Amino acid sequence: MNKPDLGKAMLGGFLGTLAMTVLFWGGKVAGLPDLDLAAIVGAIFNGGLLPATASTAWWAGLLVHFVLGVWLLPLGYVCAFYPIYWGPPVLRGILYAIGLWIVMSLLMLPMMQLGVFGFKTVHPMWFLGSFFLIHVLYGAILGVVAGGERSTGNNRSTAAPV
């Protein structure tokens, strides 16, 4: 089996994390509810409360968000999860990201006082849907950039007929 390159996976993780972060911040500009990922993760360092933008806890949250998205999650994708998923790299990345979304929604969000699947947020359905879609985007970017074995759906031999 041809595993994806770890360096490419980390590049995909960086691009996916950057896309997630920009889209959430960009949503505020478009009049959508504010979903500041640095603040959401920074709540861990602020007693479960969302920290003010540019505070120490906010910067710590942004750092943790990027460390996870750029290094740790791509490493887990390449070494542990890529071999057990099926399909083209983009599908494998999306399946991996859906798993991350479930873990975040069931374990991490309640620890950040946001409730299971974010149901304690001001706009729970907006949060649920956007949080899901942004993780799918991360996974798609990770899978495409990381590459790896591609399913062609063609099992014909390339040997010349006898």
Give the model confidence (pLDDT) of 138-148 as tens digits: 999 999 999 98
How many domains are there within the chain?
Answer: 1
d(C-alpha 103, C-alpha 52), whole Å:
26
Residue 1 placed within a domain: no
Tell me which residue of 95, 70, 58, 60 sits closest to 19, measured CA to CA: 70
- Is residue 61 one of the residues assigned to a domain? yes
Over residues 8-58, the pLDDT tens digits come to 999 999 999 999 998 887 777 777 676 788 988 898 899 888 899 999 999
Domain that holds residue 117: 6-146
Q: Is residue 94 part of a domain?
A: yes
**pTM as predicted:** 0.85
| Residue 73 forms part of a structural domain | yes
Residue 162 within a domain? no
Residue 159 covered by a domain: no
CB atoms within 10 A of CB 28: 12
